[in-house]
Amino acid sequence: MMEAEYQGKHLKFISNNNGSTVQEIVIAGLPVHLSSLLVGAASLVFNHTSYFFRFFELIVVVVSPLLSLTILSDYGEIVISCLSSLVILLFITIIIKKKGAVKDLKRLWDLKIAEENTLDCVTNYRSSMLLITAICILAVDFPIFPRKFAKTENFGQSVMDLGVGGFVFAAGLVSREGRGKFTKVRQTISRNMPLVGLGFVRLAMVTMSGYHSNITEYGMHWNFFFTLFFVKVFGSVLIPRISDGRRLWIASVMLAVMYEGVLSFGVVDYILSDGPRYGIIDENREGVSSLQGYLAIYLAGAAWANQIYHSPFTFTVLGNVVHDLAVWSILMWLNLFYSTTFFMPPSRRLANYTFFSLTVAYNLSILSGFLLIEAIVIFLAEIKTGDSRFTKEKKNRIPTKRKKDVQEMPKLLPWKQKGVRTSVLYQAISYNPLTFFILANLATGLVNVMFRTVEIDGCPAVLILTGYLATLSTISLILYSRSIKIA
Is pLDDT larger for residue 290 or for residue 404? 290
Is pLDDT larger for residue 271 or for residue 414? 271
2 pLDDT tier (thresholds 50, 70, 90): low
299 pLDDT tier (thresholds 50, 70, 90): very high
106 pLDDT tier (thresholds 50, 70, 90): low
Q: Give, in degrees to the nearest 5, the angle at Cα 307 between 414 and 115.
A: 20
300 pLDDT tier (thresholds 50, 70, 90): very high
Please give the Cα distance from 28 to 486 (Å, whole number): 31
Q: How far is CA 188 from CA 182, 184, 185, 192, in A?
A: 10, 6, 5, 6
396 pLDDT tier (thresholds 50, 70, 90): very low
Average pLDDT score over residue span 309-329? 83
Q: Specify the pLDDT at position 183.
A: 80
Q: How far is CA 374 from CA 17, 41, 68, 203, in A?
A: 36, 10, 23, 40
- 330-357 pLDDT, tens per residue? 999 999 999 888 889 999 989 999 999 9
Is pLDDT larger for residue 314 or for residue 167? 167
Secondary structure (H, E, C), 102-155: HHHHHHHHHCECCCCCCCHHHHHHHHHHHHHHHHHHHHCCCCCCCHHHCCCCCC
Listed in sequence order, the DSSP H helices in 386-457 are: 388-396, 402-408, 424-431, 433-450
Is pLDDT larger for residue 188 or for residue 397? 188
Are the beta carbons of 157 and 344 closer than 8 angstroms? no
In percent, how much of the chain has pLDDT > 70? 85
Lowest mean pLDDT among 11-15, 126-130, 336-340, 451-455: 11-15
Average pLDDT score over residue span 441-458? 88
Q: Specify the pLDDT at position 70.
A: 93
Is pLDDT larger for residue 471 or for residue 342? 471
Are the beta carbons of 366 and 175 closer than 8 angstroms? no
Q: How far is CA 480 from CA 120, 121, 359, 477, in A?
A: 16, 19, 30, 5
Are the beta carbons of 100 and 383 closer than 8 angstroms? yes
Say whether pLDDT at 379 is over 50. yes
Instruction: Give me the half-sphere count of Cα atoms (radius 13 Å) on the Cβ side of residue 13.
Output: 21
358 pLDDT tier (thresholds 50, 70, 90): very high
Lowest mean pLDDT among 104-113, 223-232, 368-377: 104-113
Say whether pLDDT at 401 is over 50. no
479 pLDDT tier (thresholds 50, 70, 90): very high
Q: Specify the pLDDT at position 103.
A: 57
- 27-64 pLDDT, tens per residue? 999 999 999 999 999 988 888 888 888 899 999 999 99
Q: Specify the pLDDT at position 415.
A: 44
Q: Specify the pLDDT at position 314.
A: 76
Q: Specify the pLDDT at position 1.
A: 53
Q: Is 412 helix (H, G, I), strand (E, B) or coil?
A: strand
Q: Specify the pLDDT at position 267.
A: 86
Q: Specify the pLDDT at position 7.
A: 67
- 187-238 pLDDT, tens per residue? 889 988 989 998 898 888 877 766 666 777 888 888 899 999 999 999 999 9
Q: Specify the pLDDT at position 210.
A: 61
- 168-185 pLDDT, tens per residue? 999 999 888 887 787 888
Q: How high is the mean pLDDT of the chain? A: 84
Q: Specify the pLDDT at position 403.
A: 43
